[in-house]
Each structure stands twice: as C-alpha cells, then as structure tokens.
Amino acid sequence: MPHVVLLGDSIFDNGSYVGDGPDVASQLRSILPTEWRTSLHAVDGSLTGDVKRQLGWLGSDVTHLVLSVGGNDALNHSGILGEPAASVSEVLDRLASIRDNFAHSYNAMLDGVMTRNRPTAVCTIYDGRFAEPMQRRIANTALTVFNDVITRAAFLRGLTLIDLRLICDHDEDLANPIEPSVKGGFKIARAIAAFCQAPNRPRVNSEVLAH
C-alpha cells in the first residue's frame, strides 16, 4: 500500500485555521486513490530543526515524503525588516548572514530526510498575503532569501520542487496572511497528489510542480 508522509509545519498542519473545513492531509486523502495512506507528521509552528524529530516517527512502510518547512524560520527573523541601517550594503550583509545560517540548517535537515531513501518533494515558502501593500512587498522580497536556499537544496539533490509561490497565487488561498485556506489547501494537496502519482522512474533531474 503506498504511504505518503507530510513533514514540516502549518502549511500541512493547517486544521486550526480552516474552521470546519478539511485540512491539507484530509484533502490529499480525498484526491489519492483509496488504497493510498496519508500520514500527517507536520506540526504547526515547527522550524527546520524540528523535522529530525518528525522523521523519527516514520515507519518502514513509507513510500513518499513531502516536506514544507522554513516559513517559521523566516518569521523568526522578521524583526530585521524594521531595523535601521546606514546603507543598502549593510542590509544585504545582514540578510546574507541569515541566509547562510538557514542554508546550514536546511541542508543538514534535508540530508537527514534523504537518508530515508524515499521519493521526496520539497515546497517553497509562498508569498504572504498581508493587507498593507508595503508590508507585503517588503516581506515577500525578504522571503526570496529563504526560497533561494530551498530551491538550490532541492535542485542539488535532484528532488521534486513544489513551488507554492505559483500554486497559492491568490489572496483567497490563505486563511490569514500566512496560513493556507481550504481553497489553498486543496491546490497544495493536488500538487502533492501529482508528485505521488508520477511514474516511478529513476530521477536524475529535478521537476518543478507549479499548479
């Protein structure tokens, strides 16, 4: 029996943000064939370093892994957006330090995921849907630093990349500025199902899923 496990944060563990609506895992179960099993190991609020614990919950029957993490790492650094700076170079240097630290953590985490030797897909961090236009513009520009790390890590390992920036591309895809709604969750689940049901062949190059 095929068995997909969702790892990471509230992008998958979004039940508390959709009221009586289905979360991402429930929607994935409704899309995949009935013989498929879906397990939610992602935990709301998790950071990149928390995925190691989630991997410890895996059973030997797992056939596919899907990972979405990094948004909370970015959120923890959001204070930099309001800090004063003497020059653009100073700002870029601070962002470079944040990028380097995240890259170290994310790559170490993904190396741990790869030891499971299962078909794996990783997700980018989608754009926040903040009401104030300038906040949205600045925050989403800063997120490119984190998404650059994620895409490089995925492509280096030949993994499938689920680009949530292109999948969750409307305000109604989010229940609040940073959590997926029922509609957005369905779009995410549909992309995961496409990854899981792709022909089982040796993959040399990465594939990007954008819808």
CATH of the domain at 11: 3.40.50.1110
Residue 161's φ and ψ, nearest 5 degrees, are: -110, 125
**CA pair distance 38, 53, nearest whole angstrom:** 18
**CA pair distance 125, 127, nearest whole angstrom:** 7
Beta bridge partners of 45: none
Q: Cα 126 to the chain's mean position, in Å? A: 8
CB 179: neighbour CB atoms within 10 A? 21
Number of domains in the chain: 1
pLDDT at 203: 62
pLDDT at 115: 95
Q: For residue 54, what are the domain limits?
A: 3-209
Q: Tens-digit pLDDT profile for the chain (211 aa)?
A: 999 999 999 999 999 999 999 999 999 999 999 999 999 999 999 999 999 999 999 999 999 999 999 999 999 998 887 888 889 899 889 999 999 999 999 999 999 999 999 999 999 999 999 999 999 999 999 999 999 999 999 999 999 999 999 999 999 999 999 999 999 999 999 999 999 998 776 666 788 888 8
* pTM tops 0.85, yes or no: yes
